[in-house]
Structure 1
């Protein structure tokens, strides 16, 4: 447990630092929303490009990692949809539960993978992001469409945002640079690398700032269902499937890490824009982020990470 706690502990402390800064409203004004945009549109994409453009992706069992992560994600999405009537949730609440059960915090995932397994972990994490981000965005937007919470105008904006998603574009650019053999020539490698190195610490602090402690008072069946699926059932299924497919320890640990991550803070914005239950989404983001500080080390300790 010592190695896992030593790797993840500093990440959680950065999140708690952000929570304290958010509570004190330091810095004031629109500093944090603007910083989140900088991280999302520039720094984190730079980190993905820097990793994917130069990584030896041939060392990653991409097909098996995809089968484990995407297979479980889509299966749980289908199961959740089938249980919609039994959950007794209105359409807006259901879309927030759907996001809470399937989305994942990429900042914590990539930072955790790097802390646990260095550059090898970062490479597998970048591959996981490239695989999961497009799929989870399509599934979540589809849930809003199927639930009927958005009109034609919002649908068009959602599809356009999906095509322009900076993380998806960064993954495509990084993979193209890698496969073409161009990589990051000259000073571009150091420049993009420096930009990317700022993404994770700032991203983790921003995660903490986005937490809404007041939302924790909401503890209805939607909260319990999403938390159970995201923090218990998904990592359990991923771990079983990873062991059955014989993933190497690094790929197994990173797959388990991504499966056990709390939901993404960006889900709150999507809930507000597309007619979801924003209050429920805030409760899920805050609760899962805090709970994951306990559950993530336990899952990784289970496999001796």
Structure 2
């Protein structure tokens, strides 16, 4: 069974990061975000499921448990006798992965609840303007969703840039981007190697919203200028108190802004390497299938241990 642990827990997640690095820049932003988020979730699921299998094996090795279910704990322990640490290490890693993923889920739900309280306030055509000097703009998912903009952000943008910002935020709402962000973040919490993939999904989601906004306003350059102006406004106001950090905001991390602006100042790509989307998906599916075999192997091991005990 040890080979299942090595492949799904040790090998696949870092390999997935390499595949994601090769694919992300060559895929349409929206397709890339969807493929990487769901494939990372598949890889994280396989890794966590393998940890669960080995954690159950650790529990099955206990004499008291073996006596309760009438199987030989020696037979169970012997399967990974050359690496006796793997089962108990898996139990510790499983607890850490579940706790980390739970914290991410709770944090996202808390932010959505805090931001969702604003959705009940009167808005004009789905836009809620708050009297706040801190320059902020973000999308609050819901039915319907609402775009929240502070007066500080409104004052930092021209009319054209403001229209581009609203188009960007509406793209977040229409694409339900917060779900992809949460899915990728939970995957990164479940396995540390996938955290880079989660950050890449964040960037691709912003890029997807940029491209949709460029189509809506009819100018890639205007959207690029809006991103730059909004980023400068946020940078100038760093340290001021403001609203809760949104799940899907208008402005990504400062390090991503130059990449986004540079992408918008280039002509829209016409040729996309769509076939590359197969690579991360295939890696995730393969790891899940291999995990299924680990579950089967554990079942067979316990059957053999029961026969040995008789």
**TM-score normalised by the chain length of structure 1:** 0.29
> Which structure features the higher share of helix residues?
1
> Which structure features the higher share of strand residues?
2
Larger Cα Rg: Structure 1 or Structure 2?
2
